[in-house]
Structure 1
């Protein structure tokens, strides 16, 4: 339903009366929600909008967004379904069906969640719950309780049990990464990390004993507990206050961040480098929490780096008065060699790399047996995918290469050779549009989940960086077209605030159609380096480096 791309018909803010009707519908369909949970869904003074869409199948639906983030959407039958954002906020609103990680990609390509991929809960008749056909359920993965999809049950729980592990279980209508999730790119969220789902029915090595050994007898957990523990009535247990682990001081966090920057980023640095740039761009990035240098014992960055130089980690020299640079790093220093970063910091770093860009659904056409004789001439294999534009491009190239003649003076109808004639159902001649339509009809249509940064950049507008004057004759740096490259603006803003130590916000300029990113001061060089080094965007797709502040030689 919403997994395939859809068209937005209109987007309008709800009036007070319409908002009351929407809340009444949600209360009617989800009566178990508490007042505090309703307040979480609709905070006071929040803006509620209705987005009318036309799905790929032609169904007219409405999605309801709170502060630009979609929270509910209509499915066939008029029922309101929660989005992933709602499920992440209120996980208990729907029952869950759990599957393994590899299945998510197949669901994103349009497949149903099949019964062999479902991890049953318990044993017996209720291993798939007690639900009716068509009931809304959430989908999550074995390693994370957080929902990754919303779907409709293909069959009742009883029918699922009687199916013997075969056939469809859930028909997805909304998945992580689809257009509904990224309806407003500026407020998208990634999947939150939750506890692991207990998969009780996954086979273990005890289920398959060595040849000749008797299998271990499985015991019911409830029976074991009841046999070993006496029944105690009116037992009162005082809750113990957990002991808090001692927290690292800001001084220790700062030094650990410095060691991490030297060990993992130092070899990639173009030395000499300004001490201020090294601290701002690399040391702060490695810190596991925000650091304010004035709250440490050092009070100043120069004092901290001077102490690190005295301890033999780095060599700092004063190039000109007040301008210090790092000329070398001792990677053989015992503390750098023995340094092991905090595991949580490694996970956060990995997570950041995964959330730099939005995901997107790419439309693909797969080579089938009917079209294989043609595509093998271009080294394509069966079930290999290509974009819709590539099909027409290859057809035009084939006709020109084989010099297929035209049948009319207007040069619209092409005489088909044996290869094209067999695929086009025996037609002797046809226009390029007609041939293309026949090919697309005989190919398999599907979708693939990709990062927007993986898509070709040739047809995208260049990122424009300019410098403008604001009140008080102060410079600000303006950046536009970031969204064309799938960049998550919230993450980009954090990096600008963190790395450039400058106020960063999104503004609307009357002369521009789209919103712009505004950074205080002339930060052209910093933003250019961030885009090329962190986001791996080619410099040829970035304009405006000439506006960078001129540095003294």
Structure 2
């Protein structure tokens, strides 16, 4: 299946809800609990095999762990998953030489499966995911599992047929292209005694834990004083009350008329959420309003006069803005602050972002070498150094003619200028064009890289998605040492919009950031002010929304 290279069509991070569904599907397949990092970043990789089969591979922190042919079919483990969960799927044991046949593309023949009291034969249905481990009689160790496949008959049918014929269609083996897609680890090996303990120890430990928990619970219940049993439960403040308090506090202490008109989403983020008391969390979905727009509509109906006026935005389709605020509203005037945060605490002193130092050079080429005595081909020179060499050459050969330079055979052979004289600016431009533009990038941690021909750039693109909605694509951040999670959070809170990142996008160097709407103005300002990136290293800023005069 993965013997030949495959093509990655898409690689996207999954939402938490999709990850939970995946882990629930896995839980139905495996025996016991999986040793898997459920808090890791889960990504779905859509790929096409060399034979043209389309399938999904699921990676956790960039390590391929599971794969499937359809979202309703079997979910298969990779060798990386099996090495951390050796008996969660049914495992067949074969002699070590069998692996070479499987690696060359053969399916598992049943006569090659070891059946003994040392290796009990597992039970499984027809078409179930099956792993294959290998036993070495010389060292008496078991390695793997190092292959994964689909059973071509049930365990009962294998016994009935006398273990003859094909038993498992092998899909994935150690050292194939799917293994190469991950960190390229080596199969673990263990003694027979340790192998047989796997699975048994976990069951015993689970039983012991359950027993200990019961004992602790009984002990706690028996020692609880009667006063604690009678203690009344303190009722938590309704989420609707918290929302109202934060709304009024934000309106009174964090909002001014100078900010009008203001996007409703921005108002909610900067004024309402900023007032949530320490130790509390405001969850709109736990209120009966469900949406902030519904809350604004209802709070205007509480008194005889309105408190906040909301109108549709003329610039942004589908968005609303705060058009006016009635500061004489009784609800607003009577509100008094209790534990709401009306002033932000002084932020902890953060380490300033150290932008990489980018130096621009030109590399000496064979045609230009004559103008730079003492230098070699490939040496890097700054614009100032080039000017000094050329000026020295012109003065020594008395070629200066006012603001122009007379061309001798050497300068002509380098620049190919057809006139007898040329201005200094034109001469330098032609010399630079005959050299190789080079950029030397040095990060604060000491790492260095040299790029030729094309400079490092943060590239902005605007694309239309479903419903004619515009999105901003941001490429090239990794070259400047910018942490993707940090800048995504800054953009998300700064413009109150959805921000996601995608890895391994075809034709893109490093991760790609996707932002809803045309947000080039904000992101460019953020890169210049917070990250110290010069605007000359940005491409596509002209695509930003034109500001009205």
Settle same-fold status: TM greater than 0.5.
no
TM-score, normalised with respect to structure 1: 0.34
The structure having more radius of gyration, on CA atoms, is 2
Kindly indicate whether structure 1 or structure 2 has the higher relative contact order, using CA contacts under 8 Å at least 6 residues apart: 1
TM-score, normalised with respect to structure 2: 0.34
